[in-house]
Amino acid sequence: MSAVGGSNNETGPDLAEHIELSMPALPELLVLARMTAATVASRADFGYDQVEDLRLAIDELCLRLVGAGKEGRLHIDYALRAEFVEIVVTYHSEDNVTRGYVPESAADDLGGGGVVNELSGAILDALVDEHGIDDVSIPPRAWLKVRRRGPDVD
Amino acid sequence: MESLEMTTADFGISDEDRNGVTVLNLRGEIDVSTAPELRQRLTALAEDHQPLVVANLTQVTFVDSTALGVLVSAVKQFRSDGGDLRLVVTQPHITKVLEVTGLNSVFGVFASTAEAVAG
């Protein structure tokens, strides 16, 4: 896998264990992304609190790309690396194949999308070591990285 | 798809009256797909001019920013009418989310429904 958002400093062959999930970009399917994140976190020997943190973080990451009622798919790559877990979410649709497109946030459909986005940013800032979104790339992508610290070491 | 429906169907809301205070007992996961149901219920209570509503989150296993956004929107609505929305939280990971977003200082957060009702 190539470097993501300039955050991957590893060089040489990719020795990470990858788990990939591809699904329609629908809010009701985010539970799948969370369940997979919990499995990945367990494989990374995360403790209970860290598993919960990663479940929430992947949900927040996907929220940036999921649009209620919009067509498209999310592709999620969970990479277990030696030092950290890295998750990259890309949004694929017929539109963004040709011109780059991020759907309106599903949170906007609930009203007060600005507040939700602010809360989402605060959550990600607190729970992961790095995160970002590139909504002008084709396809649009969001990513996060969490260092593997061992069980529940804060 | 059947197993997925079983997973997401975990979310639910039930009402009870405690000394004239409406208590919403929430359970399951509150995310972008289930938050609209919570928003609808809270909006109905606010429009009914309920002076105090308690959202009991002790059986809630997950909240994200959309759930928090719904609660923030609701508490503004209640307070603009002289009322309030209080939370009952015992799950450590939900307490943590309230802390990292600073919402623990926005809401009245209590350890039990009885305490929340009594204020």
For residue A28, the chain B residues in CB contact (below 8 A) are 8, 33
- Pinpoint the alpha helices (H) of A23-132: 30-43, 48-63, 94-99, 113-127
Tell me the torsion sign for CA atoms B98, A89, A139, A27: negative
For residue A70, the chain B residues in CB contact (below 8 A) are none
Residue A45 distance to chain B (closest CA, Å)? 18
| Residue A74 · residue A22 · CB < 8 Å | yes
Residue A31 distance to chain B (closest CA, Å)? 7
One digit per residue, the tens of pLDDT, for chain A of length 154 reads 444 443 444 556 678 899 999 999 888 899 999 999 999 999 999 999 999 999 999 999 999 888 645 678 999 999 999 999 999 999 888 765 544 444 455 555 555 557 888 999 999 999 999 999 987 788 889 999 999 875 554 4
For residue A37, the chain B residues in CB contact (below 8 A) are none
pLDDT for residue B2: 45
pLDDT for residue A5: 44
Contact across the interface for A122 and B62, Cβ inside 8 Å: no
Which ipTM was obtained for this model?
A: 0.90
Find residue B30's DSSP bridge partners: B63
Residue B32 distance to chain A (closest CA, Å)? 6
Count how many residues are written for chain B: 119
Residue whose C-alpha is closest to residue B58's, from B35, B20, B92: B92
Q: Report helix, strand or coil for A104.
A: coil
For residue A60, the chain B residues in CB contact (below 8 A) are 64-65
Cis-peptide, bond into residue A139, ω within 30° of zero: yes
pLDDT for residue A106: 52
User: In the 8-state DSSP scheme, what is residue A4?
Assistant: S
What is the CB neighbour count within 10 angstroms for residue A31? 20
pLDDT for residue B40: 95
- The yes-or-no verdict on residue B10 having pLDDT over 50 is yes
Distance CA A12, CA A146 (A): 21
Question: What is the pLDDT averaged over residues B64-75?
Answer: 95
Distance CA A135, CA A64 (A): 9
| Residue B56 · residue B113 · CB < 8 Å | yes
| Residue B86 · residue B71 · CB < 8 Å | no
Cα distances (angstroms) measured from residue A129 to each of A7, A48, A110, B48:
10, 18, 28, 44
Find residue B55's DSSP bridge partners: B24, B87
Q: What pTM was computed for the model?
A: 0.86
From B69, which residue of chain A is nearest by alpha-carbon distance? A116
Contact across the interface for B66 and A116, Cβ inside 8 Å: yes
CB contact set of B95 (below 8 Å; sequence gap of 6+):
B89, B104, B109
Tokens of B103: 């919402």
What DSSP letter does each residue of B22-58 carry, written as one string?
EEEEEEEEESTTTHHHHHHHHHHHHHTT-SEEEEEEE
H or E segment to which residue B70 belongs: helix B65-80
